Amino acid sequence: MKSVWQESIERNEFPTLNGDAKTKVLIVGGGIAGILTAYFLQKEGVPYILVEKGKICGLTTGNTTAKITYQHGLIYHKILKSYGTDGAKMYLEAGKTAFDEYRKLCENIDCDYEIKDNFVYSIDDEKKLEKEMDALSKIGFNADFSTDLPLPFKTAGAVRFSNQAQFNPLKFLFNISKGLNIYEDTFVREINQNTAITNRGKITAEKIIITTHFPFINRHGSYFLKLYQHRSYVVALKGAQNVGGMYVDDENTGLSFRNYKDTLLLGGGGHRTGKQGGNWDELRRFSKENYPHSKEISYWAAQDCMSLDDIPYIGNYSKNTPNLYTATGFNKWGMTSSMVSAMILRDMILGKDNPFEEIFNPSRSILKPQLLVNGIEAVSNLICLSDKRCPHLGCSLKWNKAERTWDCPCHGSRFTEKGTVIENPSNKNLS
């Protein structure tokens, strides 16, 4: 089970960190957010070390559908309601700035970068689309309302952002990671103040950045309340449709479409990690009905951290941790969100103000409806009787039949059939 990106790339090899080390900045986590942060710090001449428990880009980054866009679902009417015009404008400008940074970097990198329009559609709720169009108009952005979509089913229409982009994320990342100070197979098990305990030694740093997808330090920030994880699936189809752009349903359980060369990437089947969902079966039924002459050449799954208000958490890990930082909760939009993260974290390390850090502040209010849902899910799985318990906070694990893994419905940790940890926040294997 490999994504089309993983099958088509020659990986860079990085050493393992054996023994103790000391640095100014330690970055924990070798996905796109960590790598971009390392890239920017190196350009500024800041001493750093990046460590990854396995191989860089091995999980969510290597399994993304790689859309570079600042249209993150139908989000702007929600931000406008919660954070006002200034907040919505700030979020939009952050995304635009990230997009422009990708455009400049990709000019000199062979990574299959292509300009494409992005569409967020709704199956049956035109009013929701109109509300989003109205919000975008209020913050001064001209989007288009589209009704004639090249999809194999009827929709109520879509909000279109023109001139967005798509690329091969691993071609991009393995290019910019050349020469970076990266250590693979170096698993940080614990952090005590300014010291990270790895499986082979200790790393002391003045500042520590956690880009491990889901932050694993529970004593700060309450991320076990602020985040949950959502699993989604992709099949790559030869001989299917060329949709000519990037399409995604506003509903988390809907379908997404984009082409990579002559291959259609069909996404969907999603569910909260640890719950039941359509997975690849749903996608295969859809492709059999709508693309009967296509051939599946690859399939994979990805996992995304979902925040309480659809906005990432980027900045100080908590109010009380001036030298500890994080970037998480990208809500399935990790490409631009990772670039925004890297720019904000770079500026915070350098002691510079960043114009976008306020809207992404991890210490903003958590009084959102999703908080209650997360709390109920945690309590119900803590009191549930089960032989398999997650080492993170003790929730009952559920068997994922499609992927043959033990998954945590509370916070999304995943384990192999034999109990080896795959995805955090757990940093321990099953007993």
135-149 tens-digit pLDDT = 999 999 999 999 999
pTM above 0.85, yes or no: yes
Mean pLDDT of 91-96: 98
Given this model, what pLDDT does residue 211 score?
Answer: 98
How long is the chain? 431
**Cα angle 290, 266, 77; round to 5:** 110
User: What are the b/e assignments for 378-411, b being 16+ CB within 10 Å?
Assistant: beebeeeeeebbbbbbebbbbebeebebbbbbbb
Mean pLDDT of 13-36: 97
Mean pLDDT of 290-317: 97
**CB-neighbour burial class of residue 225 (10 A; exposed 0-12, middle 13-18, buried 19+):** middle
SS3 content of the chain, % helix, strand, coil (to 5): 25, 30, 45
How many CA atoms lie less than 13 Å away from 36 in the CB half-sphere? 26
Q: With 80 as the cut, is the pLDDT of residue 187 above it?
A: yes
Asked, colleague to colleague, whether 228-306 and 369-423 share their fold, the answer is: no
Average pLDDT for the chain? 96
Q: What is the CATH code for 369-423?
A: 2.102.10.10
Q: For domain 4-65+171-226+309-350, give the CATH superfamily.
A: FAD/NAD(P)-binding domain (3.50.50.60)
Q: How confident is the model at residue 387 (pLDDT cuts 50, 70, 90)?
A: confident
Three-state DSSP at 407 gives strand
Structure tokens at 52: 């990854």
Given this model, what pLDDT does residue 8 score?
Answer: 79
Give the architecture (CATH level 2) of 228-306.
2-Layer Sandwich (3.30)
Given this model, what pLDDT does residue 271 score?
Answer: 95
Instruction: Say how far apart CA 200 and CA 264 lie, in whole Å.
Output: 43
DSSP conformation class of 71: -
Mean pLDDT of 74-103: 98
Q: What is the DSSP string of 202-271?
A: EEEEEEEEE-SSS---TTSTTHHHH-EEEEEEEEEEETS---SSEEEESSTTS-EEEEETTEEEEEEEEE
Domain residue limits, the chain: 4-65+171-226+309-350, 228-306, 369-423
Identify the residue whose tokens are 């990198």: 109
Given this model, what pLDDT does residue 89 score?
Answer: 98
Given this model, what pLDDT does residue 315 score?
Answer: 98
In the chain, what percentage of residues exceed pLDDT 70?
100
Closest CA to 408 of 119, 418, 421: 421
